[in-house]
Amino acid sequence: SQQGEEDPQALSIQEGENATMNCSYKTSINNLQWYRQNSGRGLVHLILIRSNEREKHSGRLRVTLDTSKKSSSLLITASRAADTASYFCATDAESGGSTLGRLYFGRGTQLTVWP
């Protein structure tokens, strides 16, 4: 399976601290994406990083990708209580240079930010 695996499974920090979540995957990809899910509801796309990119920023989010290690990390800086959610990485399936239009999700990291 190409499923991504996040670690840690759960992370609990204080407001203002940084939160780092990691994701590993198994096969070649075209891109890797991070999603956020509040209280078991719909997912919200956070950021996409392509296989030829090593780092990407979006506001307080910083994503890195190491294709040699088949791993990615999501850093949330200066965390807020409102960042409390589950965070998932998702990878596509590289096939003949085109994606299959479907994503493979990890189990997620539950982040709790205490005020």
Partner 1 sequence: SAVISQKPSRDICQRGTSLTIQCQVDSQVTMMFWYRQQPGQSLTLIATANQGSEATYESGFVIDKFPISRPNLTFSTLTVSNMSPEDSSIYLCSVELEKLFFGSGTQLSVL
Where do contacts with partner 1 occur on this chain (CB under 8 A)?
3, 33, 35, 40-45, 48, 88, 90, 101-108
Nearer to partner 1, 62 or 105 (CB): 105
Cα distance between residue 79 and residue 99, in whole Å? 33
Nearer to partner 1, 71 or 108 (CB): 108
Residue 88 Cβ, how far from partner 1 at the closest point, in Å? 7
Cα distance between residue 13 and residue 30, in whole Å? 32
Q: Are 49 and 65 in contact (CB under 8 A)?
A: yes
Nearer to partner 1, 69 or 102 (CB): 102
Cα distance between residue 103 and residue 90, in whole Å? 6
Residue 14 Cβ, how far from partner 1 at the closest point, in Å? 25
